[in-house]
Amino acid sequence: MRSSLALNATVMESGRYEGEQQMNEDKHYEVIEAIRRIIRATDVHSRRLVKESGLTSAQILIMHAIGSERFHNTSKIAEEVSLSQATVTNIVERLELRGLIMRQRDQRDKRKVNLWLSDKGREVINNAPRLLQQHFVERFDRLDTWEQHMIVASLQRVALLMDAHDLDASPILDVGLLTSHPE
């Protein structure tokens, strides 16, 4: 066993012991590996969504909002799904071209355009796989509050460490552009 003098002699300039420094050198690999697994899971799920439904996560999320019948115009849907109105409008136009939704000017206020799912759209959305964030939210909500706070703080810190804390991001687990779509 080392004496306290020997331990004091091994303290590095950073204030850590040599053994502690070695242990911490490998921790970044674990963090990077965990981030990579999250990215990979998102990518795999996104590809599965497109393969099984022909839709992206953003398209499915918007169709769910339209199908809920609580939101009938793009501004309300954009607010509900936390996307810009321009992004929602772009996606809505593509969904309409595919015959999945319908648009019509409001009879009372001609500035508003009402949206609803077509029969084809309702069938597609009813058969679409669940979104990855739906699985995550269900599991996250079952965690104790302290653990939820710990995860949020840790992920915010990781975003800061990666200079990603100021990047605009919607709460949609998907890869690539949100306005891209399979043809």
Could you please report the per-residue DSSP string of 14-81?
A: TS-BHHHHHHHHTHHHHHHHHHHHHHHHHHHHHHHHHHHHS--HHHHHHHHHHHTTS--SHHHHHHHH
Average pLDDT over residues 146-153: 96
**Residue ranges per structural domain of the chain:** 23-161
Residues 66 and 125 sit within 8 Å (Cβ to Cβ): no
Q: What are the tens digits of pLDDT across the range 82-91?
A: 888 899 999 9
Query: b vs e for 16-38, b when ≥16 Cβ sit within 10 Å of the residue's Cβ?
Result: eeeeeeeeeeeeeeeeeeeeeee
Average pLDDT over residues 24-52: 88
- Tokens 């019509």, residue? 104
What integer best gives the mean pLDDT of the chain? 81
Provide the pLDDT confidence category of residue 107 given band limits of 50, 70 and 90.
Answer: confident
User: 23-161: which CATH topology?
Assistant: Arc Repressor Mutant, subunit A (1.10.10)
User: Which of 35, 14, 36 has its CA nearest to residue 25?
Assistant: 14
Residues 178 and 56 sit within 8 Å (Cβ to Cβ): yes
The answer to whether residue 7 scores a pLDDT higher than 50 is no
- pLDDT (0 to 100) of residue 71: 63
| CA dist 151 → 87, 168, 173 (Å) | 29, 20, 17
- CA 68 – CA 81 distance, rounded (Å): 12
The answer to whether residue 177 scores a pLDDT higher than 80 is no
- CA 176 – CA 59 distance, rounded (Å): 13
- Residue, of 93 and 17, whose pLDDT is higher: 93
